[in-house]
Structure 1
Amino acid sequence: MTAPRLHRALEASFDELSARVPATIGVAIAYPDEVRSLGPWSVGVAWSTIKVPLAIAALRNDPSRADDLAVKAISQSDNAASESLWSQLGDPTEAARQVQAVLREGGDSTTVVESRRLRAGYTPFGQTQWALRDQARFAANLAGVPDAAVVLDLMNRLVAEQQWGLAAKGVAAKGGWGPGVEDGYLVRQFGILPTELGVLGVAMAAEADTFQTGVGVLNTLTEWLFNHSDGLAVTGPSLD
C-alpha cells in the first residue's frame, strides 16, 4: 500500500472513531519535519499540560527551591506546587516570559503564555491557549530542551489515578483538564510516542460532558493510536 493511500485510510479510520465517541476530539502528531492533525478540536485551554514548561523554567531558575515542587507539579499535577514554581520566576509577566522561552526552545514558535488570572480559582498559566499542533511539536523536541531530563523522568512517574491515555501505555506524558466557562469539560494530554521512525510528539484532546467521559475518550483515542502505529510511522504526504 502506498503512503498516500495509507494516510487516507488513517483519516477515514479516525473519522469513524470521531463519529462514535461522546466528545469532540482532536489529535496532532509531530514528525521531524511536519505536524499532522486529525479531528475538529484543535486549540484551547492548556490546563495542567503547561506545567511541563513551567517546571523546566523553575528548575533552571533555582533547582534547590524548585526540585520538590516540580515533583508534585508533574507527577501529582498539584496546583499549589505549580503556583509556587510560578512565583519563583518573578512577577507574572516575567514568569510568563520564562515559561514561553522554554516553549520556543521546544519548537513552539506561536503560543503566548497567559500571565493574567482570567478565571477566579484557576491558575493564570493554565489558561494559556495551546494548540495541539504546537503542543505536539514541543513534545517531539522536548528531549532536546536543556534541563528537561528531570521533568521527562517525572512524566514517566505520574500517580496511579493520572495514568490514563498515553500514560497508561508507559509513555512519558502529562495531562490537563478543567471545566468550560459555560458547560462541557476539556481533557487533554501530550506525550512522546516511540515508533519505527523514532520518537514522535503526540497531543490529543477531548471536549466532553464530564471529566470521566473525557478520560474514557482519550483512552479510546490512545488505543487507536497504538493500533495504527505502523501507519503513523509511514512517511509521505500530509493528511492536512
Structure 2
Amino acid sequence: MGKFTLVDARLFAPGADLSGASNKIELSSEIEDKDVTNYRSAGWKEVLGGLGSAEISAEGQWEAGDPSKVDDQSWAVLGGQGPYTVCPTDCVVGALAYITSGMRTDYNVGDAVGEVAPWSGTVKSSWPLVRGQIAHPPGTARIATGTGTVVQLGTIPAGKRLYAALHVLSVAGTTPSITVRIESGDATISAPTTRLTFGAATAPGGQILRGAGTAVTDAYYRVAWTVTGTTPSFMFAVSLGIR
C-alpha cells in the first residue's frame, strides 16, 4: 500500500458501522517504558517494555433514532466492553484492519448555535491492538448458511493467538439467528478446521474472540455461518488478525 489520503476510513463499533457519521478517526498504541537504569548501564538510560495500551478516538456528525445511529450505539455501549475495528481504506475482503476489545470511556455532543450537531468519543483498549484484515465485508446480506472468501492470514506461531471480531449490523426476519465461525485449512480450505465460534446472534451487536496460543500451521482462513429462522437476513462484518 502506497501513500494515500484518508477519504474512506471505516469504523465499526460493537453493533454499528459509524463510518457514515464520522469525519475523524484516530488510532494510537504505545508500550510503557520502565526505567531500569543502574550503575552498569554505561551512562545511558536503560528501559524495559511495560504495559501496552491502545486508544481509538473519533468524531463526526450526530445522528439518533435507531440502533445503527451514533447516539443510540454510544449510549448502549458507554462504560462497557466490546469489539472495535478500524480500516484506513474501506473494508472489502483483505483490506487492512486494526482490531481490539475496548471500553467506551466518553461520549460528547453539542456545539454552538447554527453548527452541525457534532459528536466525539473515545475507546480505550482492554485487549491488545491487532493488525489484521477484513474477512467478511459489511455490505453483503446473508440469508442462508454459507462460507466466505478465503484469505491468507499466515501461520500462527506458538505463543501467538488468532483474534476475530464480529460486528452484526442489522437483523431481519422471524426468529432469525446466525452463528459465525472461523475456519482454517489449505488454500481452498477443502477440509476446514474450526478455530473460533461466536455465540448465536439474534440482534445487532458485537463479539470478539481469541485463540488459545497454540501453534497453527494453516495459513488460510475464512468466515462460515449458519443461518436459521423464517426469511432471515443479516448484515455483518468480520475482521481477523494474529498477535
Q: Same fold (TM over 0.5)?
A: no
Q: Hey, which of these two has a bigger chunk of strand by percent?
A: 2
TM superposition score normalised by structure 2: 0.22
Higher normalized contact order (CA 8 Å, seq sep 6+, divided by chain length): 1
User: Higher helix share goes to which structure?
Assistant: 1
TM-score scaled by length of structure 1 = 0.22
